[in-house]
Chains A and B, each alone.
Chain A
């Protein structure tokens, strides 16, 4: 079972007609969807690194000389995929009534003492990559940490050459910040 590359491209770009989308949704999954998608995405980006997995609309986990890093459409690199890329993004926190009202005017505005809205932008191209709405002071959410090795070996049946340890390494970034801060003060 398979769909044409044009249909999959239209699907990815939000141009596919509803009838076709409904047909795809109601049918068994096409066998080659992942590879088709990667092929299309790879053609679209201006850089040569191999895409291992897409991560939202603009980000990808790519293989860069044996390292797996998060990379934006524009080429900006966010570092190891096991670290929350958001920590290396530009962050705009809407934490006052004034800033929140720009988006939620009047009675729609949440209480800034209870809630803040954080916007994450790419430092390379300024694209808005992600928004989270959380209680004030809540740690930055790590949206998804894909187990890439298991996916390649167990789902696609073709393991990647260099297996990496699968664990959340975000705290290494924050520990680095802590050390930096200690250094600055110490």
Chain B
């Protein structure tokens, strides 16, 4: 083994096409592997990817797994297995019991679901909007009479005979699972619990048991459509996905791994794969980078980061504020709304794989919205695509090295790319192909720059308070362009930008998150007794309930509850406003009116940071409609080595040569560096290209880059 140290962490990120693997040893060294994802049995791709990773350490993992795995302290999975089940609609046969009158909910949907995921021009064109094919057909949706009202009172008793009949009918249909979602169950679950009891009686009598999932247990949050979607997701895709995870764990344990397999949750938590709300892991794919940035932020003590991830098809922007990523509690994924807390990412279609065409009506360059993906890929892949892409443009400009792509594993055909750009675009506009390629490069950079600007300024934030981090395979190639003119405190990228997501997954602590709706109203100038009563009855009771749940989950996973770091959370807003803020409560319980004041003061401080002091509106009073809880225990993490600074001059071996690069309308002689040979302290003057096997960092003329003690490359 190249590194003689003990392997400590294995983290995987299974994407739709590739499974990335990061293996970290006890010194913080790591190696990265890749293999094709195998959707029918993910353990195959997982294992292949591990073998690939260990090859870089000259280790035959197949042979030595039994020696390596017993020493490993954590294996972390994040990926898209459950998402693929959704996309291919190959989940379990689920029956639904809902409120009478609400049976058509999957057909009428919320209108957002008919255009979610569309590019902007299609959102404007209603003719392209379309309802989704329901995951549960109408004949498997049964309505039952009964009603809990918004004050948690029983307005109409539950018609138990209807419940019994519905369960019978669903069992007749041969469902694999029953999902239950009734109105206001998150405030008073009595009817849902009774449905579960009746279902259990009926099933016992018939001698056939299927699992019954209740919405108030899985997603106790208001808005029934997101709640229902979440329960169905859990029954339809998440539980079958868990079986895949067990297969991976079995394989690991077969070679001596001693702990449960851990899975990354979409809100940045990490848990044993036996976790009851496993659906929270469905959308964890894209957040790995944010988790990595959070870890960097904590280690480096730099609290505010704009995280930008550019890949083949999309450009994602996430924010780290005061060391913590921002969260959204309702996500739209694969065209459906779910009540699953998820780290906030603002995404636009902008990636290196995007097609470049000339609009026949306006004669303007059009980038995307479609992307060539991994297959057939850009023209230069020589896999049959004839329409040029952004990557083809970077290749002919000389920014990309045709012989170094994926460490030289894939040779790129520059000639073919040039011809395609010439014929399909440049000749149509009667311009030079290199001039056109630079135009495309600038155009996509400016659309990403505008996106960053929108993400920040729309929330009232200023780039001057943030550092920007660029990662993803294509980020460093474009970062100088997409940050141009934005006054960030600093702009950085890292040598292992392409594997930053799996690094992020390796760097997560074990953490669970719980949410619950509530109803706290504090009018302006409220009496102390009112503040205390609201705090004790609503907040304290809610937090206690969530802590009980958390403690039970910890016990089930064999985690030490007494060592957990518990954070009480309240979602506070001004009366009448639509948006609330996540406030980590400064007190664990509201034991006095002053405690409530402290919670509100924390909210107002945050509000002032997020918006502006003048926007504060205490006259409207305060509302808390939801509360939450996180419980965290530390896990081993990859060490982020902090190295002594060396000289400014890069070592001779770091210089790979020179190459002509086209930028600013003419050819320049650019110095080419090897990223892995650069040392902390080294400085590089533009125009230069820094090459790593999976990333290319471009430094334009008159710009420079410096590697700091954390091995981050700062663009100057």
- On A, residues with C-beta under 8 Å from B are 1, 18, 22, 25-26, 28, 31
Question: Can you sample 17 A-B contacts with CB below 8 Å?
Answer: A1-B360, A18-B130, A22-B128, A22-B130, A25-B125, A25-B127, A25-B128, A26-B119, A26-B121, A26-B122, A26-B125, A26-B128, A26-B369, A28-B359, A28-B360, A28-B361, A31-B360
Q: Enumerate chain A residues within 8 angstroms of B130, measured Cβ to Cβ.
A: 18, 22
- Closest Cβ of chain B to A177, distance in Å, is 40
- Closest Cβ of chain A to B113, distance in Å, is 15
Q: Enumerate chain B residues within 8 angstroms of A28, measured Cβ to Cβ.
A: 359-361
- The CA of A26 and the CA of B122, in the complex, are separated in Å by 7
Minimal Cβ-Cβ distance residue in B for A31: B360
- The CA of A25 and the CA of B121, in the complex, are separated in Å by 11
Q: Enumerate chain B residues within 8 angstroms of A1, measured Cβ to Cβ.
A: 360
A contacts with B: majority SS: helix
Please provide the chain B residues from 339 to 360 with a CB less than 8 Å away from any CB of chain A in the complex: 359-360
- Closest Cβ of chain A to B7, distance in Å, is 44
- On B, residues with C-beta under 8 Å from A are 119, 121-122, 125, 127-128, 130, 359-361, 369
Q: Enumerate chain B residues within 8 angstroms of A22, measured Cβ to Cβ.
A: 128, 130
- The CA of A22 and the CA of B125, in the complex, are separated in Å by 11
- The CA of A28 and the CA of B369, in the complex, are separated in Å by 13
Minimal Cβ-Cβ distance residue in B for A1: B360
Q: Enumerate chain A residues within 8 angstroms of B125, measured Cβ to Cβ.
A: 25-26
- The CA of A121 and the CA of B361, in the complex, are separated in Å by 41
- The CA of A18 and the CA of B127, in the complex, are separated in Å by 12
- The CA of A135 and the CA of B122, in the complex, are separated in Å by 37
15 further contact pairs, Cβ within 8 A, besides A25-B125, A28-B361: A1-B360, A18-B130, A22-B128, A22-B130, A25-B127, A25-B128, A26-B119, A26-B121, A26-B122, A26-B125, A26-B128, A26-B369, A28-B359, A28-B360, A31-B360
- Closest Cβ of chain B to A86, distance in Å, is 27
Q: Top 4 closest A-B pairs, CB basis?
A: A28-B360, A25-B128, A26-B122, A22-B128
Q: Enumerate chain A residues within 8 angstroms of B369, measured Cβ to Cβ.
A: 26
Q: Enumerate chain A residues within 8 angstroms of B361, measured Cβ to Cβ.
A: 28
- The CA of A1 and the CA of B359, in the complex, are separated in Å by 11
Q: Enumerate chain B residues within 8 angstroms of A31, measured Cβ to Cβ.
A: 360
Q: Enumerate chain B residues within 8 angstroms of A26, measured Cβ to Cβ.
A: 119, 121-122, 125, 128, 369
Minimal Cβ-Cβ distance residue in A for B370: A23
Minimal Cβ-Cβ distance residue in A for B359: A28
Q: Enumerate chain A residues within 8 angstroms of B122, measured Cβ to Cβ.
A: 26
- The CA of A31 and the CA of B360, in the complex, are separated in Å by 10
- The CA of A31 and the CA of B361, in the complex, are separated in Å by 11
- The CA of A25 and the CA of B369, in the complex, are separated in Å by 13
Minimal Cβ-Cβ distance residue in A for B118: A26
- The CA of A1 and the CA of B357, in the complex, are separated in Å by 12
Minimal Cβ-Cβ distance residue in B for A22: B128
- Closest Cβ of chain B to A101, distance in Å, is 25
Q: Enumerate chain A residues within 8 angstroms of B121, measured Cβ to Cβ.
A: 26
- The CA of A26 and the CA of B368, in the complex, are separated in Å by 11
Q: Enumerate chain A residues within 8 angstroms of B359, measured Cβ to Cβ.
A: 28
Minimal Cβ-Cβ distance residue in A for B122: A26
- Closest Cβ of chain A to B531, distance in Å, is 52
